[in-house]
Amino acid sequence: MGSKERIQRIKEETRSNILDAALQIVREDGWQALSMRKIADKIEYTAPIIYEYFANKEGILFELTRIGHQLLLQDVRSAKAAQTEPDLQLEAIWMAYWNFAFSQTQLYQLMYGVDMVCCEQKKALPEAIASAKIINDTISELMVKPTPDMICRKYYTFWSIIHGLISINLLNKGTGDEMNQHILKDAIHGIINTIND
Amino acid sequence: MGSKERIQRIKEETRSNILDAALQIVREDGWQALSMRKIADKIEYTAPIIYEYFANKEGILFELTRIGHQLLLQDVRSAKAAQTEPDLQLEAIWMAYWNFAFSQTQLYQLMYGVDMVCCEQKKALPEAIASAKIINDTISELMVKPTPDMICRKYYTFWSIIHGLISINLLNKGTGDEMNQHILKDAIHGIINTIND
DNA sequence: TACATTTGCTTAACGCTGTTAAATAGTTTA
DNA sequence: TAAACTATTTAACAGCGTTAAGCAAATGTA
């Protein structure tokens, strides 16, 4: 009778289990180790079951990308809220990106990896847009005469150097050591100081 | 009789054909389309033949990485040679990186892609080291009191922002449009101007 | 209660992947 | 001419993403 909701509930649970299992496999053995059959093994089903919850493997990756952007958005919001001055807010936000990349490396790789799929959709992800908006707003607050074009340019400059530093550190299997964190802070201050040029 | 050399020659030719075929496939349909059988088709052999020239697929990727670093090294050398002043040399070198990324996108993806294989070997590649040395020397010439530590830090800062900007542009399927080239030049000048801070 | 239908799940299969071993054809050597 | 060696292919294995068919258990209906 009233088991409609119960069924719905365990279905959502299974869907969540699939995502959890996928992430667990990737954390243990990297993206190249992820397969539908391994996910199925982990949730104690067989592979075809997964296709009742996701259209295909890319669908799972897309959902994980979304989860990643959700988590990052939370961190960005907290970072901004923890500071009052725009310059400190901006620094805190980029440090949040940095920390996210090394604490959630696999999600970061998926979200910003070069060859990873789901490129088109990413742009449209509301969580990603929300994070970008927070950053743009903070940059705007720092400018004496902000124009959309200048804000965008500064945003790209910031994002490039952070993403670049992170990439190099991830490539070198580093965990974001002190020297590079130093470089990051230097670069952030450099851009902030010349933000009105 | 004297066909030993001829055989050697056509063997080297086949090896080269394998690499050419691989690169051609990747240029046409992307990295995910590359397979041993497709390479074999293109050179009009069957797949197992390839294993007499390369240990495995990763061996091909490694060799392509090497070729990429060789080409880039040439560009870097030309860029430096075309200028006399260190600051202009440095700008020209980074522009060479930028142009390489968009003219040889597939090789660039292989050389610096996040999830691509051959990570450990890359650091040891002599061509990659040679390019890095040229850049470090040029940075050193720009400094009034260069120390290894500071040179390294500036190198990382440069490389991060260039690699970051390139990544974003490649992700957005862009071809390195004018605005981002503008950002790149701005950033380079910014770092050069504060190189002694 | 008996039959029909739907649901949940598995098995089997297709075409693809990288890779290896066995078989075959072709050329060289004795 | 017979034996040895070389070049190349065919066949196969295990794994991949994905789909279709089958089965078994639960549900709805008479």
Are residues B27 and B80 both part of a single domain?
A: no
Q: Does B32 share its domain with B73?
A: no
CATH code of the domain in which A10 resides:
1.10.10.60
Q: What number is the average pLDDT over the span A114-123?
A: 41
Q: Is A62 among the domain residues?
A: no
Same domain for A46 and A99:
no
**Both A43 and A74 in a single domain?**
no
Q: Calculate mean pLDDT across residues B147-166.
A: 86
Do B126 and B182 share a domain, yes or no? yes
B116 and A172 in contact (C-beta within 8 Å)?
A: no
pLDDT at site B115: 44
Q: How far, in Å, CA of B155 to CA of B195, rounded?
A: 10
Whether residues A2 and A98 fall in one domain: no
Is A42 within a domain? Answer: yes
Nearest to B192 by CA among B154, B147, B164: B154
Q: A132-186, pLDDT tens digit by residue?
A: 899 999 999 999 999 998 888 888 888 888 888 888 788 766 556 777 777 788 7
Spatial separation of the C-alpha atoms in residues A161 and A102, rounded to whole Å:
16
| Chain A contact present for B189, CB below 8 A | no
Average pLDDT over residues B114-130: 59
Q: Is residue B6 scored above 90 in pLDDT?
A: no
> What percent of chain A stands above pLDDT 70?
90
Q: Output DSSP code: residue A172.
A: T
Note the pLDDT of residue B118: 35
Report protein residues in contact with nucleic acid strand D, where contact means CB under 7 Å. A 3, 34-38, 47-48, 51, 56-58; B 7, 45-49, 52
Residue with minimal CA–C1' distance to D9 is: B46
> Which phi and psi angles does A35 have, rounded to 5°?
-140, 155
The CATH number given to whatever domain includes residue B131 is 1.10.357.10
Cβ-based contacts with strand C at under 7 Å: A 7, 45-49; B 3, 34-38, 47-48, 51, 56-58
Question: Does B121 have pLDDT greater than 90?
Answer: no
**B186 to chain A: which residues are within 8 Å by CB?**
153, 157
Nucleotide C8 C1' to residue A108 CA (A): 35
Read off the pLDDT band of B123 (50, 70, 90). low
CB pairs under 8 A between A and B: 106
Given pLDDT bands bounded at 50, 70 and 90, which one contains residue A41?
very high
Residue appearing with tokens 């974001």: A176
**More confident of the two residues B94 and B174:** B94
Do B45 and B65 sit in the same domain of this protein?
no
Residues 6+ apart with CB under 8 A from B189: B91
Does B67 lie in the same domain as B18?
Answer: no
Q: Which residues of B touch A109 (CB under 8 A)?
A: 114-115
CA distance linking residue A104 with residue A65, whole number of Å: 12
Structural domain harbouring B8:
1-54
Q: Which amino acid is at A65?
A: T
For the segment A49-70, the average pLDDT, to the nearest whole number, is 96
Report the residue of A57, A107, A156, A170 to disrupt the B interface, i.e. the one with the largest count of B CBs within 10 Å.
A156
CA B169, CA B161: separation in Å to the nearest integer?
12
Q: How far is the CA of A106 from the C1' of D14 (A)?
A: 27
Percent helix / strand / coil, chain A, rounded to 5: 80, 0, 20
Number of domains in chain B: 2
Least confident stretch, A34-48, A99-113, B168-182: B168-182
User: How far apart are alpha carbons B131 and B9 in whole angstroms?
Assistant: 31
CA of A50: how far to CAs of A32, A41, A46, in Å? Answer: 19, 11, 8
Q: Does the residue A133 lie in any domain? A: yes
Nucleotide nearest B10, from its CA to each C1': D7
How far apart are alpha carbons B165 and B180 in whole angstroms? 7
Task: Note whether A50 and A74 are same-domain residues.
Answer: no
Tokens for A33, please give them: 């180790």
pLDDT tens for each residue of B36-82 = 999 999 999 999 999 999 999 999 999 999 999 999 999 999 999 99
Residues A16 and A109 occupy one common structural domain: no
Give a yes or no: residue A178 inside a domain.
Answer: yes
pLDDT bracket for residue B174 (50, 70, 90): low
Q: What type of residue sits at position B190? A: G
> In the prediction, which pLDDT does A56 show?
96
Distance A1 CA to C2 C1' (A): 22
Instruction: Say yes or no: B19 and B99 in one domain.
Output: no
User: Which chain B residue's Cα is nearest to A150?
Assistant: B183
Residue A194, pLDDT above cutoff 50? yes
Answer for the pair A111, A64: CB distance below 8 angstroms, yes or no. Answer: no
A153 touches chain B (CB under 8 A): yes
Mutate one of A117, A158, A167, A181 to test the B interface: name it (highest B CB count within 10 A). Answer: A167
Give tens-digit pLDDT for B9-47: 888 899 999 999 999 999 999 999 999 999 999 999 999
The size of chain A, in residues, is 197
CB contact under 8 A, A114 and B109: yes
**Nearest by Cα to B189 from B52, B68, B88:** B88
CA B31 to C1' C27, in angstroms, rounded, equals 39
